[in-house]
């Protein structure tokens, strides 16, 4: 049969179906096929490939390139194939060059020779990037949901710990007392920026390249806006060559994942530190930590360690993708095939890391007494004392110096600030009065810190409200996003 | 004098002024100072540091923390210092810990002891990130302008080459004929996405952290919205700890730079390839290429090679920054000091690369005849012939196979498609009629490719209009951006 | 039963066997298990885990910690298990934490409760790094063989092309004529350096950590030198904590892979360039290139493109690993678990890339006529003309300038150097005599370039001999390497 | 004057001297010059460039290409120039393309027109890589010394803390007691591997490319082995094209730096952790830590934080270099110019980080009492108790489970292992006798851990001796290395 390209491999007698081959005199070597096949990776795009094919077929029909009956056959066949893959009747196995060859080849089993008409006016070049963009749009949606879950865990713990005080750290040294809720909310806003980036990313990923064909546009009178619309794309690409070459969207997605992982790694680091016997600020749930094969006493914060470790992998994924693209001439070069394994890996890690960390956090217990104790004798209200002097008219720079010397004096006497006497204070400045001793309590310190978005109770409560309002917005956005992928459903 | 911390180094008898020190018994070692000083790098923030200090002083005055006269003195002194640095009267030299110490120390020379009050209710932690955000906002503006210049160069050449045909490449093999304008515009849209990312980035960079103080908020009744407004910030941060910890904005800027460089590197690669004697598609201007110290005949595309090389550096800068942040606990850790050298480097390379590439391109000559010749005998209209058969009812997959065999046949006869006879065509399919021979001209091929945003003349002209309209929008945005930095000017 | 830790998951009723658990009140959550299990990745270490366990058991027996019969039972069971995995009777499937749990659990099915004694005086911490080092040693051996194959392909082509001339390029511009053999050998020596690095790497990877136990050494009187010797290790580690923490060897292996891939990517780039119609220096074999789904004429150098693309992935792997290790405190942190997926990926890509590239090269045809033509009119012998003047006493810098002006003159007349007349030469310097015209032939030019290891025929022939001698050395080394892994065999 | 190429820039009326230009009709644009000039970076190679030029001139003289008097003049002039740069009489300023142009241009001021003969039979292509290899060899030597200093600091502290016990950590949880000396020595061996890599690296960096000329070898009868020998190179390159293209040596150096930085970052992380009030294991010297501009009480481990941060920069440098090389065709491409800034940066950071960390460590005080206290109630001798049961015949896996349950029991009773009674032990196993209680002391535990290179006192002492012996070897090697660079001195 003329229409299928079987470049069977003689050595292995495996017969593989290619979407090309008329111009070749020898079959592709078995090793070259194995090396170049992307099916193991891009099989994951099966649903998107079928959906894009359905939209393409409908469009070809409406453009008069296919007859009505051909269109119907193709669409019906594709829907049946999708269904059979879903229920496991057709498995994503076998030796294929890629998911596109697989789908076309399987379709032929359902609808016969009309399958040979599906690839009219398109190329794998625009097909793969269409599939990939649809997949990324779904990924975006899943990441959005997972971030929201993470934020909910933070909010849930924050609400319980508005009145829990702990040392706020800079340089991992005690700096000033803060509310635990305030600390947890700091992580909330980092994730909120991730969401913002995801939201903006939508406008760049949701652009249809279908119809760019090989690179120069299709040679037949097609209607790309129609297929774009069916697939929920917001617009079509502005230049066919760019449509084929562009992988900015993949880079953006991996960059967004990288920052999510950086945020998770920072939280993970704190969980690991806080789990040490030395800190003992947090106790992980038995169901979320593991033991040692040799040391019977161990309870290890493995999940947090793994998340921290995996952040390196995602950062490296970003590097891989950018290095891949560097110096590539337009338009499609086979190097681009590597993009999917990279993006899938970054996405999988990020999604699962968000999920485990949100649960780990939710089920952890904060040791509030231990946190409060850590504020004893730690000089973390020294700045309050300097501010006290400022309010008495001492220039800040001078006040800072005075308190520095007081701290040195007390340290050598092995006393904390809270045990200083008025006489001791007055050794360093006569501006100190009896009220100075009162401001040294952490509970007082936090209440003085209203601005900017500080750790004062009312300030934190306001923050919480703001955070919850952001989550409402996110939920609405996620809902609207889900609707995009459902436009084609009326044809099923 | 009590208020200044001089931890003089005895070995070197250099006296350095620190913003801290009361609590220390020994001076910082000379080597530790040299290793930890950031002044050589962050001196570049001098203007932003002074502007932020002016806004801070005004705000302190309006909050009643400083008296009116103190405020005036500070503002006047800061403006004078800024002016003197501008005219070179004060040089950014000397041994300082950082730009903040430098400014405060110099200010003291102008206004005396009142300078000791400037650092009230702020920390270097919020100060440095305020400066850095202001700098990034300016950087954003400069990058926007440079991208626009690059786009203008592309448009300018594209307009002259609407009717220039060349082979469009995939896999660096001739694929289909395209218009040179179409090819150049493909690069335009890549840069347009860079602009979009810059525009969105504004909303995240233009947030004021000033007033977060060390990490927990300021202990005095300040008005951070006021200083934010004076500095043109759109809003204030939502959480003081996050305000200090957050370097997402730096990552985003370097990511945007990385993608710009990736886009430039792809263009550079084409310029290098097209400059080879084998391609000879482009001739660089003598003023934009260099020679060899040994080979007298050489004319090398050095600028394009350097841009391609430098893209690696910027990609690595992104890596450096993300790796830097990975696993850092909240809030400020000194590791963060490295952020500026990384961002400055990425920015400098990107800005200068945009500039040289736009000029290089503008002054290059495209060898239109050579491009057209390259389309002879290259089979790049083979797809058109397959589409011809499709229009005669042959399924595409079958048509593809037929043409593949025809190509093989002609190749063995050392003929191009354009020299094929009707008889030869009909050897492979009886569907061929005399009109088939006509469609083989590249000039015909490009005109058949309207969708999606294809290489057809009318389609390219429409694209050009769209591109020009985008540039108008960008100009307006850049103008609005410049106004942000000018709010404080009324106080000068 | 007391000895096995079954923290069954109630939700899923899947019962998983852990090597720890006595101290926990709740089972590990199913999601935490899935997230933290490394079995899917480290199952690849099955053989090395079993071999190391055999050596460990023998050593425990010889140390008197296990009885002779216990030792025999364990060794026999482990050998049986290894055999059954080899023949597929036992499959590497199921829900396990890692390969170590799998092996111990399966062993129990073979030998019963004595299996509970195997983990005496070792921890997974030393076990995993022992397995991993053994694996890396094997990987080193496989890479060595694959590089040798690549070198053989280069040598084989080089031998056929000693007399083939082509332009040597700098800046992708014609520089000076070179022999194709010389060009191909340039790649040979790059791979030779990879081999040198592999050889040196052996001394660092082949060090036994077995017996370091958790981190502090074993608490029982073991004989680690004995197990090391059985496994072919050259020595034992110098410090137990370092033995557990150290992943330098993994970094080195990935670095070596990165440079191999960089070398392959440079060769791949040339193959891609040389395959363009514009260069046409090389024709790939039909069995080693692929076509297009839409454009029937295409023959794409996909394999070379993929190798170029995959080099990015391996470079990124190196990045991942270094970033993973950055800032980790001693000794074992769970982050380290990620090391194996990274190393395996880098190794797999490098090994397969070496293999496909050596075959691709071997089966390619160099278009010698086209190469020779490219030297016509390309001024690539201009340096020879400058050297001619030098030999007539003109300072090189002056000679360079004279020839530069001559080239400009001829270019404007659209003539090549070989068409210059003596009169034309003498326009620029009176030192030119008739013999000057003779030296312009590429065949003469290459013969003047003997030093340093230049492109003169005798020089290239000497190089070839040197290269072949290196390959002989490599073969011997590879043989000695294979013997290391076979020491344990006498116990089978 | 004909011999110098002055492509003066008309706009700026700056006259720049190029080593090429005869073939150009227009001067290089000022912006292109600024963008492409490497002088700001490679001026650092001034000494190596002059030394290589001296060796080249001597060789040209000995080959009869230059006359004896020309040679003498050149050598004399070069020595004078080197001297004048050393004493600051000639400054490395001005607008030059690169250091090579600078040296040649300055030399002309000393010796007149004979300077035009220096560049005979060489190209900047071989010149730059010769200079760079000489520089890297020096760098190697400096790194070797700095590592040795770091090792000395570790040894010095280790010797004082053989009897200091602290918890050994895995997963940042207490694992088993270890000697502080043992812990510190773990870092020693990591640095020892860095030294080994440096030593092996010498054989690859110390290869002379001088004489490869542009790429194909020199066209005049030179003696490259002679110049190589004068410069202390161990051999000459095997292939002229590879000699020009190869930057493996640069990658290796940056890789070695990366691993050094990874090692330093791990030590830095521990210093940061141990400096927290929660750990309080270490107290930094006042001269090696810094304060806060706002919080008067702060003492921050800034140096360690910076080292940790800077490790990211060096890792990114490696990425930059590998990405730079990826996909570059042979031989010289201008992209390679970027190599030096990358290598210099990695080297500077690594060298200074080694220096500050060795001093920081040397001057730190370990809080031995606090470390010992940390072993109280931390269950870190649980493994010893399991081993106890093993010695009573209980299979390890069972013993592990028993102790796990004991730990759980005691934890719930808020008791440590050391407070357990025999009755409590016997609740979990009847194998426990009174002697079990004795083994729970950390002092006993460490003495049980002899193998493999464990924390037992005698074992640690042996380790110390081994370490000192390695340092002796290193000193000898460093001495031999210094001699290489001094061969040329007899000509001065």
Any B CB within 8 A of D447 CB: no
User: Are B306 and D125 inside 8 Å of each other by CB?
Assistant: no
Contact list in D for residue C301 (CB cut-off 8 A) is none
Outline where B63-179 has alpha helix (H).
68-86, 99-111, 124-160
Question: Are residues D242 and C231 in contact, defined by beta-carbon separation less than 8 angstroms?
Answer: no
Pick the range with the lowest mean pLDDT from B442-456, C51-65, C286-300. C286-300
Any A CB within 8 A of C4 CB: no
Both tokens of residue D2? 């004909």
The ipTM of this complex is 0.96
> Do strands C17-18 and B235-236 pair parallel, antiparallel, or not at all (unpaired)?
unpaired
Start-to-end Cα distance in chain B: 32
| Nearest to C337, CA basis, from C321, C349, C317, C357 | C321
**Residue C477 CA neighbour count, 13 Å, CB half:** 19
What digits encode the pLDDT tens for the residues A186-201? 999 999 999 999 999 9
User: In angstroms, rounded to a whole number, what is the distance separating the alpha carbons of residues C320 and A344?
Assistant: 16
Give the distance from residue C485's alpha carbon to the nearest chain A alpha carbon, in angstroms.
27
- CATH class label, A382-440: mainly alpha
Q: What percent of chain A has pLDDT over 90?
A: 89
User: Are A19 and B397 inside 8 Å of each other by CB?
Assistant: yes
Any B CB within 8 A of C172 CB: yes
User: Are A172 and D378 inside 8 Å of each other by CB?
Assistant: no
Q: A–B: how many Cβ contacts below 8 A?
A: 451
Distance of CA A344 to the CA centre of its chain: 11
Both tokens of residue C208? 């036994």
Q: What percent of chain B has pLDDT over 90?
A: 89
The single-letter DSSP state of residue C290 is B
Collapsing DSSP to helix, strand or coil, A174 comes out as: strand
User: Are B22 and A265 inside 8 Å of each other by CB?
Assistant: no
What digits encode the pLDDT tens for the residues C121-157? 999 999 999 999 999 999 999 999 999 999 999 999 9
Instruction: Count the Cβ atoms, other than its own, within 10 Å of residue B464.
Output: 18
E strand or H helix at C21: none
User: Are B35 and D303 inside 8 Å of each other by CB?
Assistant: yes
What digits encode the pLDDT tens for the residues C429-485? 999 999 999 889 999 999 999 999 999 999 999 999 999 999 999 999 999 998 888
User: Are A171 and D326 inside 8 Å of each other by CB?
Assistant: no
What digits encode the pLDDT tens for the residues B65-115? 999 999 999 999 999 999 999 999 999 999 999 999 999 999 999 999 999
User: Are D175 and A293 inside 8 Å of each other by CB?
Assistant: no
User: In angstroms, rounded to a whole number, what is the distance separating the alpha carbons of residues D131 and D42?
Assistant: 10
Indicate whether C30 pLDDT > 70.
yes
Residue C252 is predicted with a pLDDT of: 98
Phi then psi dihedrals of residue C395, to 5 deg: -55, 145
Interface partners of chain C (CB pairs < 8 Å, 3 or more) are A, B, D
User: Are B123 and D292 inside 8 Å of each other by CB?
Assistant: yes
User: Are C316 and A323 inside 8 Å of each other by CB?
Assistant: yes
Residue D9 is predicted with a pLDDT of: 40
Contact list in D for residue A305 (CB cut-off 8 A) is 171
Nearest Cβ partner for D295 among A175, A323, A401: A175
Residue D14 is predicted with a pLDDT of: 42
What digits encode the pLDDT tens for the residues B395-423? 999 999 999 999 999 999 999 998 999 99
Q: What mean pLDDT do residues C181-206 have?
A: 98
User: Are D170 and A305 inside 8 Å of each other by CB?
Assistant: no
Give the distance from residue C119's alpha carbon to the nearest chain A alpha carbon, in angstroms.
8
Residue B6 is predicted with a pLDDT of: 44
Q: What mean pLDDT do residues C109-128 have?
A: 96
Largest Cα separation within chain B, whole Å, is 103
Residue D342: closest C-alpha in chain B: B313
- C325 falls in which pLDDT band (50, 70, 90)? very high
Active site residues of D: 171, 292
- Determine the CATH number of domain B129-209+238-373+465-491: 1.20.200.10
Test the C interface: residue of A19, A320, A325, A329 with most C CBs within 10 Å: A320
Residue B152 is predicted with a pLDDT of: 98
Q: B–D: how many Cβ contacts below 8 A?
A: 217
Q: What mean pLDDT do residues A349-369 have?
A: 98
Any C CB within 8 A of D28 CB: no
What digits encode the pLDDT tens for the residues B43-75? 999 999 999 999 999 999 999 999 999 999 999
Contact list in B for residue A172 (CB cut-off 8 A) is 329, 333
Residues of B (263-322) whose Cβ lies below 8 Å from D? 285-288, 290-303, 305-306, 308-310, 312-313, 315-317, 319-321
User: Are D20 and B293 inside 8 Å of each other by CB?
Assistant: yes
What is A380-420 written as a DSSP string? TTHHHHHHHHHHTT--HHHHHHHHHHHHHHHHHTT--GGG-
Residue A412: closest C-alpha in chain B: B23
Both tokens of residue A63? 């453009």
Any A CB within 8 A of C485 CB: no
Residue D299: closest C-alpha in chain A: A173
Give the distance from residue B309's alpha carbon to the nearest chain D alpha carbon, in angstroms.
4
User: In angstroms, rounded to a whole number, what is the distance separating the alpha carbons of residues A202 and A143?
Assistant: 12
Both tokens of residue D97? 């393309």
Active site residues of A: 171, 292
Any B CB within 8 A of D26 CB: yes
Indicate whether A249 pLDDT > 70.
yes
| Nearest to B331, CA basis, from D360, A185, A164, A396 | A185
Residue A19 is predicted with a pLDDT of: 75
Residue D286 is predicted with a pLDDT of: 93
- Averaged pLDDT score across all residues of chain A: 94
Nearest Cβ partner for A277 among D272, D299, D378: D378
What digits encode the pLDDT tens for the residues D45-76? 999 999 999 999 999 999 999 999 999 999 99
**Residue D16 CA neighbour count, 13 Å, CB half:** 26
Indicate whether B4 pLDDT > 80.
no
**Which regions in chain D score pLDDT beneath 70?**
1-17
Collapsing DSSP to helix, strand or coil, C166 comes out as: strand
Instruction: Count the Cβ atoms, other than its own, within 10 Å of residue D67.
Output: 13
Residue B17 is predicted with a pLDDT of: 67
User: Are C172 and B301 inside 8 Å of each other by CB?
Assistant: yes
Q: What mean pLDDT do residues B263-283 have?
A: 98
Give domain limits for chain D: 5-117, 129-209+238-373+465-491, 382-440
- Determine the CATH number of domain D5-117: 1.10.275.10
E strand or H helix at D472: helix D457-484
| Nearest to C52, CA basis, from C231, C205, C207 | C231
Test the A interface: residue of B26, B65, B71, B170 with most A CBs within 10 Å: B170
- A20 falls in which pLDDT band (50, 70, 90)? confident
User: Are B453 and A402 inside 8 Å of each other by CB?
Assistant: no
Indicate whether B132 pLDDT > 60.
yes
Give the distance from residue A287's alpha carbon to the nearest chain B alpha carbon, in angstroms.
24
Test the A interface: residue of C316, C317, C342, C345 with most A CBs within 10 Å: C316
Residue B314: closest C-alpha in chain A: A322
Strand partners, B18: B5
CB neighbours of B83 closer than 8 A, spacing ≥ 6? none
Q: What is the pTM of this model?
A: 0.97
- Averaged pLDDT score across all residues of chain C: 94
Q: What percent of chain C has pLDDT over 70?
A: 97
Domain C129-209+238-373+465-491 in the same topology as domain C5-117: no
Q: Give C277 or D293, the one with higher predicted confidence.
A: C277
Any C CB within 8 A of A337 CB: yes
| Nearest to A35, CA basis, from C301, C312, C317 | C301
Give the distance from residue B131's alpha carbon to the nearest chain A alpha carbon, in angstroms.
16
Interface partners of chain B (CB pairs < 8 Å, 3 or more) are A, C, D
Residue C21 is predicted with a pLDDT of: 77
Residue A236 is predicted with a pLDDT of: 98
Give the distance from residue D243's alpha carbon to the nearest chain B alpha carbon, in angstroms.
16
Residue C381 is predicted with a pLDDT of: 94
What digits encode the pLDDT tens for the residues A294-327? 888 889 999 999 999 999 999 999 999 999 999 9
Please classify residue C196 by burial: count the beta carbons closer than 10 Å to its beta carbon, then call 0-12 exposed, 13-18 middle and 19+ buried.
Answer: middle
Collapsing DSSP to helix, strand or coil, A456 comes out as: coil
Q: What percent of chain D has pLDDT over 70?
A: 97
């Amino acid at each position: 049969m003329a229409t299928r390209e079987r470049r069977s491999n003689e050595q292995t007698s495996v017969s593989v179906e290619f979407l090309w081959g008329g111009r070749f005199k020898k079959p592709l070597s078995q090793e070259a096929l194995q090396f170049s096949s992307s099916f193991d990776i891009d099989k994951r795009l099966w649903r998107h490939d079928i959906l894009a094919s359905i939209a393409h077929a409908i469009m070809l029909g409406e453009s008069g390139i296919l007859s009505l009956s051909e269109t119907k056959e193709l669409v019906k066949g594709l829907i049946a194939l999708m269904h059979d893959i879903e229920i496991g009747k057709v498995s994503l196995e076998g030796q294929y060059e890629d998911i596109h060859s697989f789908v076309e080849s399987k379709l032929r089993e359902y609808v016969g020779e009309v399958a040979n008409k599906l690839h009219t006016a398109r190329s794998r070049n625009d097909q793969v990037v269409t599939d990939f963009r649809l997949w990324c749009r779904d990924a975006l949606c899943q990441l959005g949901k997972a971030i929201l879950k993470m934020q909910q865990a933070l909010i849930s713990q924050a609400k319980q710990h508005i009145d829990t005080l702990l040392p706020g750290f800079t340089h991992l040294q005690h700096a000033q007392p803060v509310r635990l809720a305030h600390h947890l909310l700091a992580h909330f806003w980092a994730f909120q920026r991730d969401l913002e980036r995801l939201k903006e990313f939508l406008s760049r990923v949701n652009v249809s390249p279908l119809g760019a064909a090989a690179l120069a546009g299709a040679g037949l009178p097609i209607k790309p806006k129609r297929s774009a619309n069916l697939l929920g794309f917001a617009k079509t690409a502005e230049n066919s060559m760019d449509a084929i070459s562009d992988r900015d969207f993949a880079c953006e997605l991996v960059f967004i994942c990288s920052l999510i992982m950086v945020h998770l790694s920072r939280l993970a680091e704190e969980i690991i530190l806080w789990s040490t016997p030395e800190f003992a600020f947090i106790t992980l749930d038995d169901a979320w930590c593991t033991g040692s094969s040799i040391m019977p006493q161990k309870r290890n914060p493995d999940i947090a360690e793994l998340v921290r470790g995996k952040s390196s992998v995602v950062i490296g994924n970003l590097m891989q993708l950018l290095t891949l693209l560097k110096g590539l001439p337009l338009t499609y070069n086979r190097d681009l095939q590597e993009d999917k394994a990279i993006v899938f890996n970054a996405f999988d890690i990020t999604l699962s890391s968000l999920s485990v960390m949100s649960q780990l956090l939710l089920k952890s217990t904060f040791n509030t007494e231990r946190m409060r104790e850590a504020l004893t004798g730690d000089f973390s209200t020294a700045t309050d004392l300097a501010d006290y002097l400022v309010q008495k008219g001492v220039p800040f720079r001078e006040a800072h110096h005075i308190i520095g010397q007081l701290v040195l004096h007390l340290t050598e006497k092995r006393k904390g600030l809270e045990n200083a006497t008025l006489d001791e204070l007055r050794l360093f400045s006569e501006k100190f009065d009896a009220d100075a001793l009162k401001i040294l309590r952490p509970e007082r310190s936090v209440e003085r810190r209203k601005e900017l978005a500080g750790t004062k109770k009312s300030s934190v409560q306001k923050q919480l409200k703001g955070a919850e309002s952001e989550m409402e917005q996110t939920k609405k956005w996620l809902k609207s996003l889900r609707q995009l992928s459902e436009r084609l459903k009326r044809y099923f």
